[in-house]
Structure 1
Amino acid sequence: MHIRTADQFPHRIVREDLWIPLPDGTRLYARIWRPVTEEPVPVLLEYLPYRLSDWTAPRDAQRHPWYAGHGYASVRVDVRGHGNSEGRPGDEYDETELADGEAVIAWLAAQPWSSGKVGMFGISWGGFNSLQLAARAPEALKAIVTVCSADDRYDNDVHYMGGSVLAVDMHAWASTMLAFVSRPPDPAQVGEGWREMWRRRLEAVDPFIHTWLGHQSRDAYWRHGSVCEDYSTVKAAVLAVGGWHDPYRDTVLRLVEHLPRESGAPVRGLIGPWSHQYPDRGLPPGPAIGFLQETLRWWDKWLKADDKTAAPGEKDVMDEPLLRSWISEPHPPATVYPRLAGRWAGDAAWPSPAVTMTPYELPGSGPVHVRSPQHTGVDAGRFFPFGNDSDLPPDQREEDGRSVCFDSGTLGGRVEVLGRPRVRLRITSDVPRGQVIARVCDVAPDGSSTLVTRGVLNLTARHGRDRVVEWQPGATEDVTFELNGIGHAFPPGHRIRLALSSAYWPWIWPQPGSEAGWVLDPAGSRLELPVRDPAADAGAPPIRFAEPEQAEPLGVRYPEAANPRPERVVVRDVAAGEWRLEVDPRYGGTRVYPDGLEFTENALETYSIHEDDPLRAAARSAWEIRLKRADLGWDARVTTRSRLRADGADFIAVNEVRCEDGGEEVFHRVWERRIPRTAG
């Protein structure tokens, strides 16, 4: 990692904190880094609810000054009702948030230091709303870089997967956002009125889990903000970026397929080996790339060069392949990889003519009953890997033992896959509801099993995510669904394994009656892999990236915890038949900022289930957050507790928020809600 100091940039930089006015009089808190120049410059916007004055400040310091030093006004804005921004918080990506975003873009384009051209970027939430605002096509928005985001809010986000409730992240993220939205504004920025501002904000809070579980099929709620509903609305140039260890990577494949054809918007896709992180940060798995330099090529192309041509001696960014993908070499199972071996491949079109869907028939002479214990999935790893030590799935042999597995013969040659595998399964079920989970694993000669990719189908969603069609007990049907995309090489001497299970806790909330499982007819079933011809790269110039570089770090201190608990623990009560998974998400812990702010957060997620009873599933989340400024005598605390369970008819959600200022209670509320189980 190369760190550029302020005197090493082409431009000197100034920083300013201010409020951006909205049409209704609300003001959003913003931080702007600008180059010192007499000429108007293009503007880059990152728009998030995650608090620019503390939570994202270390990450912001790595990139916003870097862009400013290269001739852009780089702006970080807190969404309404979050951080120091005024107003009341709403649901994620709601109409108010997006309309506010359009107003911010217009305001930035109209400033005297602005050229009138705006780009937008972000990872996760900021990548989502960048893409969604591009679909609204405000005049000034000319280009975006969307990282680890989704074009499909229903089936490629934290809520549902294959039509099934994502227990692991719907509940965990709703609980996290309940804690995040309950944090107070900072009196160092907003002044003495912070406490009343905090109280008004808290009175508007409603746990996201109520809304998300209230829409268990793909209805109008999920279609809002899902760019896949109409790609033709996107007019800005789109650089779509993902990682094979991020759950949103399939969006990159869809964008490079649909945008050129349906909207005509310029697009390029980039998928590396990364987790849910910016690709320059160096967090596992690597290798990291010079991502800021790569995005600068994108901005220069669409926001600076009037003739849309590269500078002399530079390759035009649009001369890069439509899709640049990392294909990983085989690797033993591990929960963290500092760096994966592999290579970059380029495809000029997607779907690529170099990729062929290749069928692998399932061996077997008769029907097989797939009836997995309910704790199948405890070795699934984290839904959102962030680069922590326990994020990725360990050796899958125990999970394979809880599943029905079909192995290929020993491979005589190398098989490279790139894209989304697909399964076609002939199933008989005696119960109206259930789930199918398919995993593809790379099995080495020593028997170790490395998870390559996976997919899920809620059987009631087999005819479409927008409807619930229960299975006619005793009926036999053929079902087809895709697995998550991947770039992976299976070497000679290994075997390709398809593992099928009827449970996957805690990723997937089990259906009532799903303990009965279902019957598979191997003769009517198969796995289809997107096999890529390695010869497709013959004669093509190698794909290379610069080494990572960033601006100077903010100088935050991270005191070590006295007794750090493990990140991920599985507990089995043998006599009771119960399993419990305890997860510390480790978003940041305690940190001390250069301006004296002490920020501490402590979180624990717990998932429990009985190995034979899907109605004993339960998820819990506990958060404690403290913000303290000794110089102001400010000591604010937020405590939240969230629980979710389900019987045969309803989900039962209980959420609690308690907020204190200097030991005095400012707010306390408990929500209890029963939500009918429809698709979930």
Structure 2
Amino acid sequence: LDFPALHITGWFDWDQPGAMFYWRGMAEHSPAADHQYLVAGPWTHPQTWAGGQTSLGEWSFTESSVADVKPIHLAFFDRYLKGTTDALPFPRARLYVTGEDRWRDFGAYPPAASRVQRLYVHSGGEANASMTDGVLDWTEPGDEPPDRYVHDPNDPVPSTTGGDSRGIDHRPIGERDDVLVYTSEPLEDTLVVIGNVFVTLHAATDARDTDWVVKVLDVHPDGRSLKIGPTEVGVLRARYREGYEETVLLEPGQVEEYRIEHFDVAHAFLPGHRIRLQVASAAFPFIDVNTNTGNPARTDTEWVIAHQTVYHDRLRPSFVELPVLERDR
């Protein structure tokens, strides 16, 4: 595709994964790559047109986060439809960074200074919420016992405790024993993350199919645990671990590697805040409950309880991939 494009999305926009898919495709492959522009605010999908609000549940933003996007559209049309100007009055990428709550301009997205850093999962085998010893840090794991939990399709982990789950305090969900919780120490310096976040799990189940569900959260000094990213969770249904073209069921007990997309963020974890990872196998009703049978989901009337194991040792590490803005470290 050879044409200029203005890409507008939000960090809490359910359709952001699609917007970023087209942004990356055009920015990397289009003959008009130098004429692609990105604007992303702390917005839900309707707010990408309406201009935003100063809060989303527990999240709060500055007045400057509320933007009138129509002048941006008009400037783009003046440049590329009417031809009345030679340049646009904004950069290739203008991003509102949540956490530090300010707009930043970049010559590319992801920024050239972003480097993927791995935040590793650790525990003594008791990362379940009721007795959690789950830790996140930058050191590679050694010989560590795995963590285990039980996924019962008749009692699924909820995606929300009420209200828009992108703006709720996720602590109550993390208190269930079928949720693993890993938390960093309080940060000493600001950590700015801009780009696509992934979580890699080495895991096994005794079922033929199951879901692996992850959340990356910002734990505030007052304890509130707020999720970053546009959707309620990142999720990978195990039968599609090799792609969506075909179904490949699991061999019970076999350890597999799962790379789960958490989608794009521009967020600053501030000093005194902590980074948290939650791992589960359901997020109902945001995603349909996996019955763990491997049967066709549309017609399945059976279910089995799945016993899940998450590994984080030297040979089978589990970790969060964060695109860290290097100059801000």
Structures share fold, TM-score greater than 0.5: yes
Of the candidates 294, 308, 325, which is equivalent to residue 532 of structure 1? Answer: 325
- 1:443 and 2:219 matched: yes
> What does residue range 543-554 of structure 1 map to in structure 2 within 5 Å?
none
What is the identity, as a one-letter code, of the residue corresponding to 1:406? Y
> Does the alignment pair 1:242 with 2:9?
yes
**Residues in 2 aligned to 1:471 and 1:415: alpha-carbon distance in whole angstroms:** 37
In the alignment, structure 2 segments of 5+ residues that lack a partner are 56-60, 124-143, 293-303
Q: Deviations over 1:578-635 (max 9, x none)?
A: xxxxxxxxxxxxxxxxxxxxxxxxxxxxxxxxxxxxxxxxxxxxxxxxxxxxxxxxxx
**Equivalent residue in structure 2 for 1:516, among 306, 323, 328:** 306
User: Larger relative contact order (C-alpha < 8 A, sep ≥ 6)?
Assistant: 2
Q: How does 1:603-642 map to 2 (within 5 A)?
A: none
Aligned AA (1:297): A
- Per-residue displacement from partner, 1:474-529 (whole Å, max 9, x unpaired)? 11111212212111111111210010001110011112236314200122211111
Instruction: Identify the match of residue 90 of structure 2 among 289, 313, 320.
Output: 320
Which amino acid in 1 is paired with 2:46?
Q
User: Which residue in the other structure is 1:416 paired with?
Assistant: 192
User: Within the alignment, does 1:455 sit opposite 2:234 as a pair?
Assistant: yes
Distance 2:42 2:13 in 1: 9
TM-score, normalised on structure 2?
A: 0.77
> 2:287 matched to 1:501?
no
Distance change (3 Å), C-alpha of 1:325 and 1:503: same
Unaligned runs of 5+ in 1: 1-233, 311-315, 331-341, 383-389, 537-680
Say which SS state the counterpart of residue 222 (structure 2) adopts.
coil
Which one has the bigger helix percentage? 1
Q: Which consecutive segments of 4 or more residues in structure 1 shift more than 6 A?
A: none
Distance in 2 separating the partners of 1:270 and 1:449: 27
1:455-494 equivalence runs, <5 A = 455-494=234-273
Change (3 A) 1:276 1:517: farther
Once the two structures are TM-superposed, the CA of residue 534 in structure 1 deviates from its matched residue by 5.1
Is the CA contact (8 Å cut-off) linking 2:9 and 2:43 kept in structure 1? yes
Q: Give the whole-Å Cα distance in 2 for the aligned partners of 1:360 and 1:370.
A: 22
CA contact (8 A) 1:253 1:269 kept: no
Residue of structure 2 in register with 1:379 after alignment: 160
Amino acid at match of 2:95: S
Superposed displacement of residue 391, structure 1? 6.5
> Which residue, 352, 357, 361 being the options, matches 2:116?
357
Measured after TM superposition, the shift of residue 346 of structure 1 is 2.2
The equivalent residue for 1:252 is 19
1:270 aligns with 2:51: no
Moved more, 428-437 or 254-263: 254-263
Change (3 A) 1:294 1:450: same
SS at 1:297 equivalent: helix
SS in structure 1 at match of 2:5: strand
> Which protein is bigger by CA-based radius of gyration?
1
Partner Cα separation in structure 2 for residue 321 and residue 407 of structure 1: 36
Shift of 1:442: 1.1
Q: Relative to structure 1, is the Cα distance of residues 361 and 392 closer, same or farther in structure 2, using a 3 angstrom cutoff?
A: closer
Structure 1 pair 489/351, CA: closer, same or farther in 2 (3 Å)?
closer
Sort the Cα spacing of 1:268 and 1:283 in 2 relative to 1 into closer, same or farther, 3 A: closer
TM-score scaled by length of structure 1:
0.39
Identity over aligned residues, as a percent?
A: 26
Residue aligning to 2:174: 400
| One-letter amino acid matched to 1:438 | V
Give, in angstroms, the shift of residue 348 of structure 1.
1.4
Contact 1:256-1:322 at 8 Å conserved across structures: no
Match for 1:439: what amino acid? K
Instruction: Report the CA distance between 1:535 and its aligned residue.
Output: 4.9
Alignment length, in residue pairs?
Answer: 277
Partner of 1:45: none
Say if 1:256 and 1:323, in contact at 8 Å, map to a contact too. no
Map Cα deviations across residues 112-169 of structure 1 (whole Å, 9 max, x no partner). xxxxxxxxxxxxxxxxxxxxxxxxxxxxxxxxxxxxxxxxxxxxxxxxxxxxxxxxxx
C-alpha distance after superposition, 1:540-573 (max 9, x if no partner): xxxxxxxxxxxxxxxxxxxxxxxxxxxxxxxxxx
Deviation at 1:423, TM superposition (A): 1.2
User: Residue 185 of structure 2 aligns to which amino acid in structure 1?
Assistant: G
Contact 1:377 1:399 in 2 (8 A): yes
Deviation at 1:353, TM superposition (A): 1.8
Cα distance 1:499–1:392, how it changes in 2: closer, same or farther (>3 A)? closer
